Amino acid sequence: MQRTRLNTLFAITQTRLNELFSNPWRRIALSLISLLLGFFVGQAVTTSVGQSAYWDITVAGFFLLFTEFISRTFYSRLSINNKRLFWLSMLNTFKMGVIYGLYLEALKLGS
């Protein structure tokens, strides 16, 4: 690949972000933010979609495909080279928050 200004800008930005998130406390904070954002999305989507009842099956299918795709990508990459990618780990944490939000909403509706 040619070394253009845009290519250099992306490389420098990636290096700086890697250095920024190499601190373990920042990783933990970002993981917690990702988990809580996923929880919020799980709660918000079920509340807004549950109002109209037209999109229930479609959104349930989307969430199923989303969670299965993230799980397959995360665990297949993990078994290949034993090195976790940071963005993939954050996406998996977001997925866990979404699943927890959906599970809690189901418990609220069932009781």
Residues of the chain with pLDDT under 70: 1, 77-84, 111
Q: What pLDDT was estimated at residue 39? A: 96
CA 55 to chain centre: 22
Closest CA to 98 of 26, 44, 31: 44
Phi, psi of 53 (to 5 degrees): 65, 10
What pLDDT score was predicted for residue 109? Answer: 81
